[in-house]
């Protein structure tokens, strides 16, 4: 009798679970939506938005998640998508902070997300790391591919997905099925997210090499050796590619042949990824300073003392620079002078980076909260 009751309850729970409403975004198109689709906002990893934005006058809302946040949010159609270390991805209303839905991943921790053409791509870290594809129009998981632990943001170009992993493997996969197209092997972990420009993919590895791979074949166009490992994701602007290294240098290379144009020395390892405008580079260092460097000459323009290491990557929106430090402080600086305009103290470290959507800033913290700043 007891077994019958248990079986019946199991069937009821299964029916309730599988028949429960699924989160679906109808007419999910990006042509007219100012989506923040990836880690640094665009394929070049610029971390730069030209539109002006007011100084935040307060925190607009914050929502407590079930775990700490290390990855960066993506935003589209007024929905914020973010993963945490509780193996969940949350769908949050971008205007109100209300939880709309969530995905649970049993196998690993969803770290970086990307959105393209109505699909949410999730890379995850952990022993059983996967790359997953969730169909936002249909509210269902399309596929999962076991690639190993990854702390790199998936990059989608045409019909392919490109992703680096902690095993040192860099993959090109079919977008429809995740079947491999080609694979490149670095000597050590790939923790940076690739930038893309004119048929080349740019990324660094813990082996100290910075690579430029041909998009179609995976062949090495050129490579450049730093003195230590590279965790920083590169940014491409005009004919240059810029990135930081654990050796404390910020490097600027010719994007076509890899020749060094300039380097700039900080006093600590550089984990932060650069934000690059038409004329300047903004990047944080483990020495506690946020730097503004001339894009053409590599000369220091100003530096701001955050009094804490900076692993998060800055975001430039119009005339303002937004960044977060390991001590949990979120800061807004004047882009031209480096003067602080506003700051907010949170309860945990920041390793994630800010995202911008409709004149608001979104960032997750290791205190387990997702924050929205604006007016």
Can you give the C-alpha Rg of the chain in angstroms?
21
* 39: Cβ contacts below 8 Å, ≥ 6 apart: 45, 71, 72, 112, 114, 153, 193, 233, 353
Task: Kindly list the distances between the CA atom of residue 46 and the CA atoms of 56, 136, 209, 236, in Å, as whole numbers in the listed order.
Answer: 22, 26, 21, 7
* 362: Cβ contacts below 8 Å, ≥ 6 apart: 36, 73, 75, 80, 82, 94, 354, 355, 356, 370, 371, 372, 373
pLDDT in tens, 51-109: 999 999 889 999 999 888 888 999 999 999 998 877 889 999 999 999 999 888 776 67
pLDDT at 283: 98
Three-class SS state of 132:
strand
* Tokens matching residue 39: 């880690």
Query: Which residues of the chain are modeled with pLDDT < 70?
Result: 1-33, 107-108
- State the CB neighbour count (10 A cutoff) for residue 319: 13
Please provide the DSSP assignment of 36-95 as one string.
B-STTSSTT---EE-S--PPP-EEEEEEE-SS---SPPEEETTEEEEE-TTSEEEEEETT
Asked if residues 90 and 74 have their Cβ atoms less than 8 Å apart, the reply is no
pLDDT in tens, 313-332: 999 999 999 999 999 999 99
User: Domains (ranges, CATH) in the chain?
Assistant: 37-374 (2.130.10.10)
Distance CA 280, CA 128 (A): 40
pLDDT at 23: 52
Distance CA 65, CA 85 (A): 10
- Could you give the maximum distance between any two Cα atoms of the chain, in Å? 81
pLDDT at 86: 78
Q: Where are the beta strands (DSSP E) in 297-339?
A: 300-305, 315-317, 320-324, 329-334
pLDDT at 104: 82
pLDDT at 106: 73
Distance CA 73, CA 261 (A): 33
Distance CA 40, CA 234 (A): 10
């Amino acid at each position: 009798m007891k077994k019958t009751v248990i079986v019946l309850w199991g069937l009821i729970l299964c029916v309730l679970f599988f028949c429960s409403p699924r989160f679906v975004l109808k007419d999910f198109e990006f042509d007219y939506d100012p989506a923040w689709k990836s880690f640094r906002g665009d394929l070049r990893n610029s971390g730069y938005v030209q539109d002006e934005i007011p100084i935040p006058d307060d925190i607009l809302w914050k929502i407590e998640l079930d775990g700490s946040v290390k990855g960066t949010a993506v935003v589209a159609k007024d929905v914020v998508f973010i993963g945490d270390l509780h193996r969940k991805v949350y769908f949050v209303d971008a205007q109100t902070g209300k939880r709309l839905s969530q995905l649970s991943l049993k196998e690993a921790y969803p770290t970086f997300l990307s959105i393209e053409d109505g699909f949410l791509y999730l890379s995850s870290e952990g022993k059983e790391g996967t790359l997953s594809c969730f169909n936002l129009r249909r509210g269902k998981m399309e596929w999962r591919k076991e690639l190993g632990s990854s702390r790199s943001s998936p990059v989608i170009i045409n019909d392919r997905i490109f992703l680096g992993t902690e095993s040192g493997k860099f993959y090109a996969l079919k977008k429809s099925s995740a079947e491999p197209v080609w694979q490149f092997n670095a000597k050590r972990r790939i923790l940076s997210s690739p930038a893309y420009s004119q048929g080349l993919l740019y990324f660094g590895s813990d082996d100290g090499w910075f690579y430029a791979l041909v998009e179609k074949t995976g062949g090495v166009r050129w490579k450049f050796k730093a003195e230590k490992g590279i965790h920083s994701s590169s940014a491409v602007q005009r004919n240059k590619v810029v990135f930081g290294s654990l050796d404390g240098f910020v490097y600027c290379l010719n994007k076509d042949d890899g020749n060094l144009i300039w380097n700039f020395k900080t006093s600590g390892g550089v984990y932060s990824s650069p934000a690059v405008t038409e004329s300047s580079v903004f990047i944080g260092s483990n020495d506690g300073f946020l730097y503004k460097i001339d894009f053409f000459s590599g000369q220091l323009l100003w530096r701001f003392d955050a009094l804490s290491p900076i692993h998060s990557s800055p975001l430039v929106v119009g005339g303002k620079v937004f960044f977060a430090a390991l001590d949990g402080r979120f800061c807004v600086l004047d882009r031209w002078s480096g003067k602080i305009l506003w700051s907010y103290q949170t309860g945990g470290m920041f390793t994630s980076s800010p995202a911008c959507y409709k004149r608001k800033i979104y960032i997750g913290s290791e205190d387990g909260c997702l924050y929205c700043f604006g007016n």
